[in-house]
Amino acid sequence: MTQLPGLLKFTPKYRTVRWGGRRIAAFKNTEPTGDHIGESWELSALPDMLTPVTEGPLKGATIPQLMEKYGRELVGEQLLYRYGCEFPLLIKFIDAEDDLSIQVHPDDILSHGHGKTELWYIIDAAPGSTIYSGLNRTLTPNALRKHIDDHSLTDVLAIHYPMAGDVFYLPAGRIHSIGGGNLVLEIQQSSDITYRIWDFDRRDKDGCLRELHVDKAIPAIDLNQTDYGLAHPQILRGYETMVKQTPYFSVTAMLVDGEMTVPVSALDSFRIFIAVEGEGTLRASDGTEMSIRCGETVMAPASTTDVRVTSGAGPLKLVTVFIA
């Protein structure tokens, strides 16, 4: 059996949606793949959007195939016990040229499996762009339904005006929407369940309104939230900053100007490296070496002892993800 290399890069899958734009290709410095590209699925184990390994001896292998052959080496002992052969995370870039619908995701109980807790790292935000994250007051289910029915839902949502580097934590149950003008890195549980609550009465090319899921959404919404999940972590050169620890994943960020060595196997988890600025090189403890540039995602399996990160001509900003 082929040995699992110390680094794995994946070929993204793109999703065309009505609210998408063309900034993902510009961000990645790649050729455009079409108009209205709203999502680049960077690392996915979901059946309809599998991301294959891009290069190396395992080129073409999907994450489920890697889990079947190398489960313990890929994710570590504790995660294999916790999740079995299911890979637990999904990584995306989102380009919102227009507003996304107002929506909510169910938790593990309501979804009868994996809920959808997520985190947004704002890569870029056009002047005046907005984010809805959470309610601005406590509501009863009946009061919430009234605001949905009379199209005044935005009156009870917390509105934010993001800037690059902002982080929004969205546990399952938090009502939210990405406004037009935002380019976002999304880290989430491996789930694609979304309950659409309101879509601003927009119609598709055939003049039809998109389906709403109000009856499912209201029981899923946390009506007693106490915060909006917003933070702006300071990322210092040469240091790793903890951005957010959640029950489902931990997120850090680092600005590398020279070299840094980042531990992996000591976490008993894989570690995902996502470049959001600059370019550089990753070298795993087994000698596997791989370039990484803005918009690329690389995984170090749990069997990798550490990864040495070297910046290119300028500083390299990385967001990393693991499960503690």
Residues labelled catalytic: 196
Residues in the chain: 324
Tokens of 282: 């990753």
* Strands 167-170 and 230-231, bridge-based pairing: antiparallel
Helix spans in the chain (H): 23-28, 63-75, 77-83, 141-149, 214-220
d(CA 174, CA 103): 9
d(CA 300, CA 312): 20
For tokens 């890195």, name the residue: 185
Strand ordering across the sheet containing 182-189: 13-21, 37-43, 89-96, 182-189, 118-125, 167-170, 230-231
Contact 75, 4 (CB under 8 A): no
Tokens of 186: 């999304």
Tokens of 167: 């982080």
d(CA 323, CA 284): 19
